[in-house]
Structure 1
Amino acid sequence: MTNRATEIVSLALQRVPPKVIAQRLCVHPNTVYQRIREARQAGEVIPYFKTPSKLEAAEARPSARPEEAEASPSTKHIVVSVRLYSLLTTEAARRGLTPTEAAQRLLEKALLGTVVA
Protein backbone atom coordinates (compact mmCIF):
# COMPACT_ATOMS: atom_id res chain seq x y z
CA MET A 1 0.00 0.00 0.00
CA THR A 2 1.31 3.46 -0.90
CA ASN A 3 1.75 6.30 1.55
CA ARG A 4 -1.30 8.05 0.13
CA ALA A 5 -3.43 4.91 0.41
CA THR A 6 -2.25 4.45 4.00
CA GLU A 7 -3.25 8.03 4.84
CA ILE A 8 -6.67 7.52 3.25
CA VAL A 9 -7.29 4.29 5.18
CA SER A 10 -6.06 5.86 8.42
CA LEU A 11 -8.45 8.79 8.08
CA ALA A 12 -11.32 6.49 7.07
CA LEU A 13 -10.71 4.41 10.21
CA GLN A 14 -11.06 7.64 12.20
CA ARG A 15 -14.52 8.02 10.58
CA VAL A 16 -13.52 11.01 8.47
CA PRO A 17 -15.96 11.12 5.52
CA PRO A 18 -14.45 10.34 2.09
CA LYS A 19 -15.22 13.77 0.66
CA VAL A 20 -13.41 15.42 3.57
CA ILE A 21 -10.45 13.06 3.10
CA ALA A 22 -10.31 14.03 -0.58
CA GLN A 23 -10.26 17.73 0.31
CA ARG A 24 -7.60 17.33 2.99
CA LEU A 25 -5.28 15.27 0.80
CA CYS A 26 -6.02 17.15 -2.44
CA VAL A 27 -7.08 14.03 -4.31
CA HIS A 28 -10.17 13.22 -6.34
CA PRO A 29 -13.03 11.76 -4.25
CA ASN A 30 -13.16 8.73 -6.55
CA THR A 31 -9.55 7.94 -5.60
CA VAL A 32 -10.55 7.94 -1.93
CA TYR A 33 -13.52 5.66 -2.56
CA GLN A 34 -11.32 3.30 -4.59
CA ARG A 35 -8.62 3.07 -1.90
CA ILE A 36 -11.26 2.43 0.79
CA ARG A 37 -12.84 -0.27 -1.37
CA GLU A 38 -9.44 -1.92 -1.96
CA ALA A 39 -8.64 -1.81 1.77
CA ARG A 40 -11.97 -3.45 2.62
CA GLN A 41 -11.31 -6.18 0.07
CA ALA A 42 -7.89 -6.71 1.67
CA GLY A 43 -9.54 -7.29 5.05
CA GLU A 44 -9.48 -3.84 6.68
CA VAL A 45 -12.59 -3.18 8.77
CA ILE A 46 -13.49 0.32 7.62
CA PRO A 47 -16.92 1.56 8.67
CA TYR A 48 -19.40 2.49 5.98
CA PHE A 49 -20.29 6.14 5.77
CA LYS A 50 -23.90 7.25 5.76
CA THR A 51 -24.67 9.54 2.87
CA PRO A 52 -27.45 12.05 3.45
CA SER A 53 -30.69 11.36 1.65
CA LYS A 54 -31.85 13.83 -0.97
CA LEU A 55 -34.52 15.07 1.44
CA GLU A 56 -31.98 15.68 4.23
CA ALA A 57 -29.67 17.46 1.79
CA ALA A 58 -32.51 19.68 0.58
CA GLU A 59 -33.49 20.55 4.15
CA ALA A 60 -29.89 21.42 5.05
CA ARG A 61 -29.57 23.68 2.02
CA PRO A 62 -30.49 27.36 2.48
CA SER A 63 -33.97 28.13 1.19
CA ALA A 64 -32.98 31.08 -0.97
CA ARG A 65 -29.95 32.00 -2.99
CA PRO A 66 -28.15 35.15 -1.78
CA GLU A 67 -29.23 37.19 -4.80
CA GLU A 68 -32.87 36.18 -4.22
CA ALA A 69 -32.66 37.14 -0.56
CA GLU A 70 -31.40 40.61 -1.46
CA ALA A 71 -33.92 41.21 -4.23
CA SER A 72 -37.11 43.09 -3.54
CA PRO A 73 -40.39 41.13 -3.64
CA SER A 74 -41.23 42.74 -6.99
CA THR A 75 -37.99 41.56 -8.64
CA LYS A 76 -38.36 38.74 -11.16
CA HIS A 77 -35.71 36.74 -13.01
CA ILE A 78 -35.55 36.02 -16.71
CA VAL A 79 -33.40 33.58 -18.65
CA VAL A 80 -31.49 34.73 -21.72
CA SER A 81 -29.21 32.88 -24.09
CA VAL A 82 -25.46 32.94 -23.57
CA ARG A 83 -25.00 34.94 -26.78
CA LEU A 84 -27.54 37.57 -25.71
CA TYR A 85 -26.00 37.80 -22.25
CA SER A 86 -22.56 38.23 -23.81
CA LEU A 87 -23.82 41.11 -25.96
CA LEU A 88 -25.56 42.67 -22.97
CA THR A 89 -22.42 42.38 -20.83
CA THR A 90 -20.28 43.98 -23.53
CA GLU A 91 -22.68 46.89 -23.96
CA ALA A 92 -23.04 47.32 -20.19
CA ALA A 93 -19.26 47.50 -19.75
CA ARG A 94 -19.04 50.07 -22.54
CA ARG A 95 -21.59 52.24 -20.72
CA GLY A 96 -20.12 51.65 -17.25
CA LEU A 97 -23.14 49.68 -16.02
CA THR A 98 -23.68 46.23 -14.61
CA PRO A 99 -25.46 43.74 -16.88
CA THR A 100 -28.50 43.94 -14.59
CA GLU A 101 -28.66 47.73 -14.85
CA ALA A 102 -28.23 47.61 -18.62
CA ALA A 103 -30.98 44.99 -18.96
CA GLN A 104 -33.32 47.02 -16.76
CA ARG A 105 -32.77 50.19 -18.78
CA LEU A 106 -33.16 48.34 -22.06
CA LEU A 107 -36.45 46.78 -20.96
CA GLU A 108 -37.77 50.04 -19.53
CA LYS A 109 -36.95 51.86 -22.74
CA ALA A 110 -38.56 49.16 -24.88
CA LEU A 111 -41.67 48.69 -22.73
CA LEU A 112 -42.24 52.12 -21.24
CA GLY A 113 -40.52 54.39 -23.70
CA THR A 114 -38.47 55.94 -20.89
CA VAL A 115 -35.20 55.23 -19.17
CA VAL A 116 -35.11 55.67 -15.43
CA ALA A 117 -31.84 57.23 -14.34
Structure 2
Amino acid sequence: MWNVTFFLHMVGTAALGFYLILPFVVGGIQKLSLGAQEGAINTIRVTNRFAQYGLVIQLLTGGYLMSQGDYSPAWMIIVTILLLAMFAVGGIMSKPLKNALAGIREKRRK
Protein backbone atom coordinates (compact mmCIF):
# COMPACT_ATOMS: atom_id res chain seq x y z
CA MET A 1 0.00 0.00 0.00
CA TRP A 2 2.87 2.37 0.82
CA ASN A 3 4.35 1.98 -2.69
CA VAL A 4 1.07 2.87 -4.39
CA THR A 5 0.57 5.87 -2.13
CA PHE A 6 4.13 7.03 -2.69
CA PHE A 7 3.65 6.71 -6.47
CA LEU A 8 0.46 8.78 -6.34
CA HIS A 9 2.27 11.33 -4.19
CA MET A 10 4.96 11.64 -6.88
CA VAL A 11 2.30 12.04 -9.58
CA GLY A 12 0.82 14.89 -7.53
CA THR A 13 4.28 16.40 -7.22
CA ALA A 14 4.68 16.35 -10.99
CA ALA A 15 1.35 18.17 -11.34
CA LEU A 16 2.56 20.85 -8.95
CA GLY A 17 5.58 21.52 -11.14
CA PHE A 18 3.17 23.75 -13.07
CA TYR A 19 3.46 26.40 -10.37
CA LEU A 20 7.25 26.43 -10.76
CA ILE A 21 7.17 27.22 -14.48
CA LEU A 22 4.15 29.52 -14.33
CA PRO A 23 6.04 32.84 -13.86
CA PHE A 24 8.13 32.16 -16.97
CA VAL A 25 5.08 31.31 -19.06
CA VAL A 26 3.06 34.32 -17.91
CA GLY A 27 5.99 36.66 -18.55
CA GLY A 28 5.94 35.96 -22.28
CA ILE A 29 2.20 36.16 -22.89
CA GLN A 30 2.12 39.93 -23.57
CA LYS A 31 4.34 39.49 -26.62
CA LEU A 32 1.91 37.12 -28.33
CA SER A 33 -0.92 37.89 -30.74
CA LEU A 34 -4.49 37.96 -29.39
CA GLY A 35 -5.23 34.46 -30.65
CA ALA A 36 -2.06 33.07 -29.11
CA GLN A 37 -2.78 34.93 -25.85
CA GLU A 38 -6.22 33.36 -25.72
CA GLY A 39 -4.77 29.90 -26.25
CA ALA A 40 -2.01 30.43 -23.70
CA ILE A 41 -4.36 31.75 -21.01
CA ASN A 42 -6.83 28.95 -21.65
CA THR A 43 -4.01 26.42 -21.36
CA ILE A 44 -2.86 28.01 -18.09
CA ARG A 45 -6.44 27.91 -16.78
CA VAL A 46 -6.86 24.22 -17.61
CA THR A 47 -3.42 23.36 -16.23
CA ASN A 48 -4.22 25.26 -13.04
CA ARG A 49 -7.28 23.07 -12.61
CA PHE A 50 -5.13 19.95 -13.18
CA ALA A 51 -2.62 21.23 -10.60
CA GLN A 52 -5.43 21.77 -8.11
CA TYR A 53 -6.36 18.09 -8.50
CA GLY A 54 -2.67 17.35 -7.92
CA LEU A 55 -2.91 19.33 -4.69
CA VAL A 56 -5.80 17.16 -3.54
CA ILE A 57 -3.72 14.07 -4.32
CA GLN A 58 -0.86 15.62 -2.32
CA LEU A 59 -3.17 16.29 0.62
CA LEU A 60 -4.55 12.76 0.74
CA THR A 61 -1.39 10.81 0.04
CA GLY A 62 0.82 13.13 2.10
CA GLY A 63 -1.51 12.79 5.07
CA TYR A 64 -1.32 9.03 4.81
CA LEU A 65 2.46 9.02 4.43
CA MET A 66 2.88 11.39 7.40
CA SER A 67 0.71 9.14 9.55
CA GLN A 68 2.95 6.18 8.69
CA GLY A 69 6.22 7.98 9.44
CA ASP A 70 7.83 9.56 12.44
CA TYR A 71 7.89 13.29 11.65
CA SER A 72 8.23 16.21 14.03
CA PRO A 73 5.10 18.26 14.67
CA ALA A 74 6.88 21.39 13.39
CA TRP A 75 7.51 19.71 10.02
CA MET A 76 3.89 18.57 9.74
CA ILE A 77 2.60 22.07 10.56
CA ILE A 78 4.92 23.77 8.05
CA VAL A 79 4.02 21.33 5.27
CA THR A 80 0.30 21.70 5.99
CA ILE A 81 0.53 25.51 5.92
CA LEU A 82 2.45 25.43 2.63
CA LEU A 83 -0.12 23.07 1.13
CA LEU A 84 -2.97 25.33 2.21
CA ALA A 85 -1.14 28.35 0.78
CA MET A 86 -0.81 26.53 -2.56
CA PHE A 87 -4.54 25.75 -2.49
CA ALA A 88 -5.19 29.46 -1.90
CA VAL A 89 -2.91 30.62 -4.72
CA GLY A 90 -4.45 28.12 -7.15
CA GLY A 91 -7.93 29.22 -6.23
CA ILE A 92 -7.11 32.92 -6.34
CA MET A 93 -5.64 32.54 -9.83
CA SER A 94 -8.84 31.08 -11.27
CA LYS A 95 -10.93 34.25 -11.43
CA PRO A 96 -8.27 36.56 -12.98
CA LEU A 97 -7.53 33.90 -15.59
CA LYS A 98 -11.22 33.61 -16.42
CA ASN A 99 -11.55 37.41 -16.61
CA ALA A 100 -8.45 37.74 -18.81
CA LEU A 101 -9.79 35.09 -21.16
CA ALA A 102 -13.16 36.88 -21.39
CA GLY A 103 -11.39 40.20 -22.06
CA ILE A 104 -9.29 38.75 -24.86
CA ARG A 105 -12.32 37.09 -26.45
CA GLU A 106 -14.14 40.43 -26.34
CA LYS A 107 -11.18 42.19 -28.01
CA ARG A 108 -11.12 39.59 -30.75
CA ARG A 109 -14.82 40.14 -31.53
CA LYS A 110 -14.24 43.87 -32.20
| TM-score normalized by the length of structure 1 | 0.33
Which structure has the greater CA radius of gyration? 1
Higher helix share: 2
Normalising by structure 2, report the TM-score: 0.34
Q: Tell me which of the two structures has the higher relative contact order, counting C-alpha pairs closer than 8 angstroms and 6 or more residues apart.
A: 2
